[in-house]
Structures are given as structure tokens and as C-alpha cells.
A and B are shown apart, each in its own frame.
Chain A
Amino acid sequence: MSADYDITETLDVKGASCPMPVVKTKSAIDDLAEGEILEVLATDAGSMSDIEGWASGTAGVELVDQQEGDDVYTHYVRKTE
């Protein structure tokens, strides 16, 4: 699954609930360089909608993909600027 993307960093927010998945994703993406991809592993079911909403409303990031596993929701976010 994750082999589809060239992942620079993985952020594990499993167990954390709103607003932490989004807030920690933002902090982690700040540390990346332009073009790099962050993989986010979350168990919060709300993270599917929240990370999508955050990515579309935030400058400089792009949601590449989201995958819904059995227990874990995986998000791929690219830093675009």
C-alpha cells in the first residue's frame, strides 16, 4: 500500500482523537521540504473527513490519498510550497 508513494516521514497518531490528528499533521508537514510526502496513521474515524477538509482549506498542502484499513486510517499529504 504505502509502496505507492515515496514517503519522507511517517506520523503515528493512532489513539489520538480530534483535534490532534490534524494539529500534529500540520506540525509534521511544517518540518518537510516542498514536494515531500507525509504518511499519517490514525485510528480516529473523523480523521478521514478532517484531514481532507484541512488539506483543502490550507495553502501549501495537497491530499494525495487516503486509505481506510480495518482499524487504521492512512493519509498521504504532500507539501506543495
Chain B
Amino acid sequence: MSTDTPDASADDTPSRAELAARVDELEDALAEATSEDDAKKMSIIATKGTLDMAYPPLILASTAAAFGYEVTVFHTFWGLEILHEERSKNLKLSSVGNPNMPVPNAVAALPGMDRVTTKMMEKKIDDNDTATIEELIETSLDMGVEFQACQMTIDLMDYDEDDFYDGVTTGVGAATALQDMAEADIQLLV
């Protein structure tokens, strides 16, 4: 016991040089951590492909880019329709299950009614000079927003890489989205 104590304390007490080295190490780590977090980040998961639900992720993505955020939007399931160059121009709106639409559900469920409600909405968008989905995607891409197309959904829907807007990232999965979410200051599921 009496012989152990001096040895142990000699081992446990770091020298001045060791402490200085440790401080340098921590300062470097801190500098690295703070410089990496300089740019604010936003991660959106877009899961819906109806005309009305295509807007929120695109409006938030382009606006966040204007604020200087690094933005990624991961499009999965029906959200992938938004990135599909052809299909994004024909997104539909249904009034079935939407009690705010001026059409009763029983009528809304009739064949051809989705086309009517979609036309109605498209006219409103046009009259109000609201940006189209295509405009929002092109604008967002110009501003550096990264649009990611879920590879599993591409395979599931039998789409091709060329079907998407130029600049869309393909070949990504949930792990990529999760990593983006973990690093982001804002995470949204739309």
C-alpha cells in the first residue's frame, strides 16, 4: 500500500507538457467542430405527390436557400413524382377526403372529378401568378438545393435516372437522408 501510493499518483498526474498537448488537441477539435457547423442546414423529406402537397417542400427549400441554408430534399414514394420531369407537370389534386374543397365527397369520387378539381386549382395558381412546380424546382436547383431521388422508389416505380430533372441526385437511400437529418438544424417530413 505505502509503496503503491507514490507510484499511482505519479502515473495519474499528467505532466505540464502532456496537459499542454491535450489543450492543443481540444482547441483543434473545437475549431474544427465550429467551422464545420458554420453553414446552417435544412433537411426535408418529401413523401407526397399531389399538386397541393408538392408546394410546401419546394417553397421552404427555395426560401431556406435564400437564407443561406444548405438544403437537401429527399423525395420518397409519391414525393418522387415532384422530381419526375414529365409527371411533375401533371400532378393531380383530389377533393376526396378533403372537406375544405367545395365538392361533396360523394360527387368528388365520381370518375373524372380529379381532373376537374385539378383544372380548378391550376387556374387559381395561374390567376394568382403563383409559381409552377417546374419553376420552383428550377429556381431551387439554381440556388443550390440538393434534390435527392430515393433509389428504392425509383426501382419500385420502374423509373429511369433520365426521367428526373437535370441536377437531381439519384442512387441515395434512407441512410443518406438520416445522415442529412442528423446534421441539419431543421428537419421536416412533408
- A residues sitting closer than 8 Å to B (CB atoms) are 15-20, 22-23, 25-27, 54, 57-59
Among candidates A15, A23, A25, A59, residue contacting B68 with C-beta atoms closer than 8 Å:
A59
Since A15-B129, A22-B66, A58-B67 are in contact, a sample of 9 more A-B pairs with Cβ atoms closer than 8 Å, ordered by chain A residue number, is A16-B129, A16-B131, A17-B130, A19-B63, A19-B66, A20-B139, A23-B143, A26-B143, A54-B66
Which residues from chain A contact B3 at a C-beta distance below 8 Å?
none
Among candidates B62, B66, B131, B139, residue contacting A58 with C-beta atoms closer than 8 Å:
B66
Among candidates A16, A23, A59, residue contacting B63 with C-beta atoms closer than 8 Å:
A23
A23 and B67 within 8 A (CB): no
Tally of B interface residues using CB under 8 Å:
15
Chain B 33-67 interface mask (CB, 8 Å, partner A; 1/0): 00000000000000000000000000100110111
Which residues from chain A contact B131 at a C-beta distance below 8 Å?
16-17, 19-20
**Chain A min CB distance to B60 (Å):** 8
7 interchain pairs, CB-CB under 8 A: A16-B129, A17-B129, A19-B136, A23-B62, A23-B65, A26-B67, A58-B66
B143 and A27 within 8 A (CB): yes
